[in-house]
Structure 1
Amino acid sequence: MNTHAALPHPIAPTRAIDLGALIRSRRNARTPRMTQAQLGELLGYSAAWVSRVESNELTPPWEILIRIAQILDITPGELGIASASAERLAHEETTRSSPANLSATKVAPEQALADQEDDPVRRRTFLAGAAGIGTALTAPTAPAVAAADPVGTLEEALFQPTAAPAMPLDRLRIALAAARSDFRAARYATLGRELPELIAAAEATRDSLTGTARDTAHAIIARAYVLASELTVKAHSEAAWVTADRALRAARDSGQPAPIGEAARVLAIAMRRSGRGRAAVDLLTRTATSLDTEHRRPTAPTLTVRTSLLLTAAYSAAVTGDRTTALTLADEAEQSTRRLPADSDTGLFTVEATPQQCALYRIGIHNALGTPDEGIAYARSCDPARLPTPERRARYYTDTARMWHQLGDPRRTFTALRGVEHNAPEEARRPAVRTLTAELTYSSVSLPGLKEYAERTGAHQ
């Protein structure tokens, strides 16, 4: 085992270090102790990826290494970097991640995604030997998906907005419903192209209205930005902060509880991904409590958004390692679903309040807690065919793939990954899913069809 891999950056360390041991010791020294799954969540990678870094089997790209150092309070000196080099690197990282440069820097679409999220996977050589598709892996094969950047146009429009004419509210509602359908069907490239025009038109319409009509326009804007936030989170884009903030501002201006709850949820997700998991839990639980306080007889949409807040809070607590809070909030979310009338149409955009949804979240919660064995029962109780959208079914297969991967079962991991592609091909190209695919490809196991799957979904470049 190599104890010191060269850092992939033009500025090399000034002395040899055991990078894996340094990261592992600082992670274990956190109070409470940070698990590999929790560190991976903050970085957008899996626990298995963190394990390989700590074993010196791979070295993170420079920008990810800087992020690890920030999370674990590792100084440049401990990384063996001269102070002058550290200053230069800090400047490069700050400049690279500034909002202005998110739209100003133009690279090829697939390259933009790979550089930001999972290029340690993309740039390595994959193990050969996997060929054909075995009959035991029964998920049907989806057609190859062309490389696309689902958020490039959206990011540019956020910082360089274009003018659009106002339109009747009914037309805005139709456009918003179409955008929601694109998200639920996991047509992310289409959604990314259409959202900027929808947002611009909705904002122009709001500016032309007064009274309750203006409040309605605010709600449409908020939900358009919620969809934008969901999209940028899936792409691991820093623009998620911008879209979530704008969603919450517009939702509060609308005065409507459901958009406020939906916007608070996506903002909390952005907070969690930046390492502020406990603050995210606090925001989510406070918002859920306010819905209870303000609505003694809550409507179905209010109950549904409350459930979604509790489920996201439970997962966020799991990411921070707080098992007790995570499981308590998950229990509370399940109780909230029982208050809903049967077959209620909530009209929420991204999640539903059902027992299936609660079981789905339980899988992710136990993955984050590092107890994937406890998620098996929930994976078996959750029938993906009963999940309402391709996006949610893909989430089920993604979480079960992570579960089996943590449990060391590559065959079931690959079966689940193929389930992702079968239900939502663009989900299979998400950075986190491509990382998981690549980790499976790196392993010593040989699975028929794995190499082709990696190539088809963009994990093998």
Structure 2
Amino acid sequence: MDDVTDPIWRSGPVRAALDSGDPGAVVRSVREAHHLTLAELGARCGYSSSTVSRLETGRQPLRDVKVLRSLADALGIPAHLLGLADTSVRIVPIRSPAARVGSIPRPDEETDPMRRRTLLAGLGGLAGSTLLGVPAAAVADPLAALEATLLAPPAEIPASATAAGLDREVAAARAVFQHGRYAEVAAALPRLLPIAIAAHTHHPGGRHAANLAELYTLSTELLVKVGHDHLAWTTADRALQAAYASGDILAAAIARRAWGRVLRRAGRAETANRLVIDTAADLQHDLGRGPEFLSVYGSLLSTAAYTAATSGDRDAAHTIIGEAADAARRVGADANHRATAFGPTGVDLYRVSIARALGDPGIAIAIAARINPAAIPTVERRGQYWTDVARAYHQWGKPERCYRALLAAEQATPDEVRHRGHIQQVTGTLLSHPSTAGLPGLRAFACRVGIAA
């Protein structure tokens, strides 16, 4: 079917599309010339009909070689007509430009200087315990120690750099984070990062690079939690570099997702979504390789849907989260492949966030009501569930229910309420509200989240 003498190449719509130089228009015109529906073309390529629609209309840029080749093969389009002549398939995406340490993104609603104090208070409460190998009492300010490690790495390479237990320690740090114990992770990272850097220095690439990428990604997620966006900007870029060095396509996708979240918080939602959606498209041919690929793919789509919602793009948010739900159904039960906590419940959690971001608190609460909190795979996500419920009730003008949800979030993981700027803002509003200012325990709760009541 790739014979350029075929009559379809002389048809008006196809020739107009070829003259336009728009690959999406070429795909659409050839598909229609062959009387194929979006769903039929999608079935040939392994894409959903909505993905094909986005590619054809330019809402999802059609520039990835792998995607172009799959469409060309499915439709019999000669490769050179889509600019594919002498172009090899890209296995790992080209890295984004390096971030500059001096570039400080615009803070969003969660930025609050009080969070350093609340993090220190949380760490102080852990004195005497062991934090992933670091005694709590020995760490005066974990954020300062992490910042020093990131901006001025130790000159000497640790002797334990190539220890066989590094995989285990990195996995343990991720597990502690997902258990909602952020202060412990903040205390451990200044020790783990130099070890991982040294291991990658001695034995570049492979598993050592993947471990370093995971630690930088974990650092990014932690710094986002505590509002240190300027450092998150740096760690997200370093996570990408290490992930690409590892040769692990999923590590690269996870790092790009974290980078997309940082870009969104920097006020660059359009760039963030282009990055995340392109990354998801890169994975589409590999979804049959197992639940890890489906889980990372679905997590990327969930992030893209929420980003669209924060920009007020209701249609895109609902369309993309629908595709994430399709991936969740293919995964089956809720799981935690590649630390994504992705599955049907995970998608519903994003639906709550999306409804709230779109200004639909009643819908957010209705969705939340069908979620069993005990079924949420990680403590961190359980805490986020309750904080989202609290914010939706606050948005809806139901302060007493908002307060009860905040207490549930604190019970799930105290660090989730202690470190989040939006929780401090909501709590401050409750303190000043005539119907809730006298609620039992509210002032004590305010003190615990860092508000002087």
Same fold by TM-score greater than 0.5: yes
- The secondary structure found in structure 1 opposite 2:322 is helix
2:448 maps to 456
Aligned to 1:204: 198
Cα distance in 2 for residues equivalent to 1:343 and 1:356: 6
Change (3 A) 1:343 1:168: farther
Query: Which residue among 225, 234, 237 is the counterpart of 2:225?
Result: 234
Partner of 1:220: 211
Pairing of 1:247-396 with structure 2 (within 5 A) = 247-293=239-285, 295=286, 297-340=288-331, 342=333, 346=337, 348-349=338-339, 351-396=340-385
Alignment RMSD = 2.6
Q: 1:170 to 1:144 in 2, by over 3 A?
A: closer
Matches of 1:426 and 1:398, distance apart in 2: 12
How far apart, CA to CA, are the structure 2 residues paired with 1:423 and 1:281? 31
Look at both structures and tell me which one has the larger radius of gyration over its CA atoms: 2
Is the CA contact (8 Å cut-off) linking 2:209 and 2:243 kept in structure 1? yes
Distance 1:338 1:436, change over 3 A: same
1:400 maps to which of 389, 414, 418 = 389
* Conserved? CA contact 1:145–1:457, under 8 Å: no
The equivalences for 1:178-193 within 5 A come to 178-193=172-187
Q: CA 1:99/1:439 → structure 2, altered by over 3 Å: closer, same or farther?
A: farther
Asked if structure 1 preserves the Cα contact closer than 8 Å seen for 2:334 and 2:341, the reply is no
Write the deviation string for residues 310-354 of structure 1: whole angstroms up to 9, x where unpaired: 1011000001110000111111000001122557662x23x3221
- The 1:438–1:334 alpha-carbon spacing in structure 2 relative to 1, beyond 3 Å, is same
Instruction: From 422, 434, 447, give the equivalent of 2:424.
Output: 434
Asked if structure 1 preserves the Cα contact closer than 8 Å seen for 2:352 and 2:388, the reply is yes
How many Å separate the matches in 2 of 1:101 and 1:369?
A: 29
Q: In 1, distance between residues paired with 2:416 and 2:387?
A: 9
Q: How many residues align?
A: 326
Contact 2:386–2:406 (Cα < 8 Å) also in 1: yes
Gaps of 5+ in 2: 1-99, 126-139
Letter in 2 for 1:183: F
1:359·1:378 contact (CA, 8 Å) conserved in 2?
yes
User: Residues 227 and 282 from structure 1, CA distance in 2 versus in 1: closer, same or farther, beyond 3 angstroms?
Assistant: same
Report how far residue 298 of structure 1 moved: 2.8
C-alpha change, 1:297 and 1:169, in structure 2 (3 Å) is: farther
The one-letter code sitting in structure 1 at the alignment partner of 2:430 is: L
Kept in 1: contact 2:361–2:392 (CA 8 A): yes
Q: TM-score, normalised by structure 1?
A: 0.66
Contact 1:151 1:231 (C-alpha < 8 Å) held by counterparts: no
Kept after mapping to 2: 8 A contact 1:311/1:333: yes
Q: CA deviation at 1:160?
A: 1.2
Residue type of the alignment partner of 2:434: S
What amino acid sits opposite 1:232 in the alignment? L
Cα gap change, 1:101 to 1:246, in 2 (>3 Å): closer
Q: 1:402 to 1:220 in 2, by over 3 A?
A: same
Q: Structure 2: how far apart are the matches of 1:395 and 1:115? A: 14
What do the CA deviations read for 1:224-244 (whole angstroms, capped 9, x no partner)?
Answer: 111101100001112110111
Would the alpha carbon gap of residues 387 and 424 (structure 1) be closer, same or farther in structure 2, given more than 3 Å must change? same
> How far off its partner does 1:195 sit?
1.0
Q: Secondary structure at the match of 2:270?
A: helix
Work out the CA distance in 2 between the residues paired with 1:345 and 1:423: 18
Are the aligned partners of 2:373 and 2:382 in contact in 1 as well (CA < 8 Å)? yes
Give yes or no for contact 2:386–2:405 (8 Å, CA) kept in 1. yes
What CA deviation, in whole Å up to 9, does each residue of 1:133-164 have, x standing for no partner? Answer: xxxxxxxxxx9885896533212211011242
Secondary structure at 1:151's aligned position in 2?
Answer: helix
- Which residue is 2:434 aligned to? 444
Deviation at 1:383, TM superposition (A): 1.1
2:252 & 2:272 partners in 1: Cα distance? Answer: 15
Structure 1: gaps (5+ residues): 1-97, 103-113, 123-142
Q: 1:144 to 1:201 in 2, by over 3 A?
A: closer
More contact order relative to length (CA 8 Å, sep ≥ 6): 1
Identity %: 37
**Residue matched to 1:414:** 403
Q: TM-score, normalised by structure 2?
A: 0.67
- Residue 265 of structure 1 contacts residue 284 of structure 1 at CA under 8 Å; is this kept in 2? yes
Residue 156 of structure 1 is aligned with which of 148, 173, 177?
148
Contact 1:219 1:259 in 2 (8 A): yes
Distance in structure 1 (CA, Å) of the matches to 2:422 and 2:147: 20
Checking the alignment, whether the CA contact within 8 Å between 2:142 and 2:186 is kept in structure 1 is yes
Distance 1:149-1:303 versus aligned 2 partners, 3 A rule: farther
